[in-house]
Chains A and B, each alone.
Chain A
């Protein structure tokens, strides 16, 4: 959902400044490209032996997923700024306006901008869908879940005609990052034929462990930051 919100911000900016037709053409091309990726890679991955797939996908999920709690902790501790959809929307509008009025019959700038936004943000969604869907042999439910999130975000975007700034992106990314990291470590363990205490139930413990350690780390940073500010004052 978070990725859809980020893509929606760019599409709205392009639609408002350059017109809705090219913005929607770029979006449709991006969605088409991403659908092809899922249709191409998803079923092909399901032919790979499950332990190999668990190991490879687990490693990729760890690399991909652990970035999210890292960033979320730093954001929640105030070290890096929160994602501001309204600021991104304003910046994107300004950049598009700087290109001047549309002179060509086909507005390639608008199409390329929305295509790029949808493809880049969507790649993360596609990776999560393929990774969780292929290993759990649940590609269709994973795709339906992602599509449902997309429909909700697009619906809200069409209704409101402005960026979804109130979506708690950092909290969502925190939660998703914790879950992806948990699945990643679980599948790497399974792929290496390690025995998890409690088997599948250990996933709950892994998620809880990641969450508790992340929250504690955030608290530590906030305390250090406060102490440092007092010393400097």
Chain B
């Protein structure tokens, strides 16, 4: 049983290291999948906006983690 729990934890850890980043990514992807198609007009902006959102999430997360560490 312990081996199974360890294995599951390790596999989970492959994808989730910082919970807030993982949740942020999933929420942004859900927005892209379900909200972007509701916005009328040309669709050429969707892919670049998807990318910009993910970069913004990464930068915000790294800055927040670094500032938390620097304040200590």
Chain A residues with CB under 8 Å of chain B are: 59-60, 62-64, 66-67, 69-71, 73-74, 77, 79-80, 120, 123-124, 127, 181, 185, 188-189, 192, 194-197, 202, 206, 209-210, 213-214, 217, 220-221, 224-225, 228
Per-residue interface assignment for chain B, residues 36 to 72, with 1 indicating a CB less than 8 Å from any chain A CB and 0 otherwise: 1000000110111011001101110111011101100
Contact of A60 among B15, B36, B55 (CB under 8 A): B15
Q: Answer whether A221 and B66 are a contact pair too, CB < 8 Å, given A66-B21, A66-B58.
A: yes
| Contact present for B58 and A225 (CB under 8 Å) | no
**CB of B15 to closest CB in A, whole Å:** 4
B33 is an interface residue with CB less than 8 A from chain A: yes
Most chain A C-beta atoms within 10 Å of own C-beta, residue among B26, B29, B50: B29
A120 to B16, CA, bound (A): 15
Kindly report which residue of chain B lies nearest to residue A229, judged by CB atoms.
Answer: B70
| Partner-A contacts on B (CB < 8 A) | 10-11, 14-18, 21-22, 25-26, 29, 32-33, 36, 43-44, 46-48, 50-51, 54-55, 57-59, 61-63, 65-67, 69-70
* Smallest CB gap from B42: residue in A: A195
With A209-B55, A221-B63 given, is the CB distance from A64 to B43 under 8 Å?
Answer: no
Contacting B10 at CB < 8 Å: which of A70, A123, A214, A220? A123
Which of A67, A188, A206 touches B29 (beta carbons < 8 Å)?
A188
What CA separation (Å) do A57 and B5 show in the bound complex?
24
In the assembled complex, the CB of A140 is this many whole angstroms from the nearest CB of chain B, namely: 23
State the CA gap A124–B14 with chains docked (Å).
Answer: 7
The answer to whether B62 and A188 have CB atoms under 8 Å apart is: no
Minimum CB–CB distance for A81 against chain B, Å:
12
Closest chain-A Cβ to B1's Cβ sits at a distance in Å of 16
Residue of A124, A185, A210 with most partner-chain B CB within 10 A: A185
**Complex-state Cα separation, A67 to B51, whole angstroms:** 16
Beta-carbon contact of A194 and B29 below 8 Å: no
Contacts of B25 in A (CB 8 A): 59, 62-63, 66
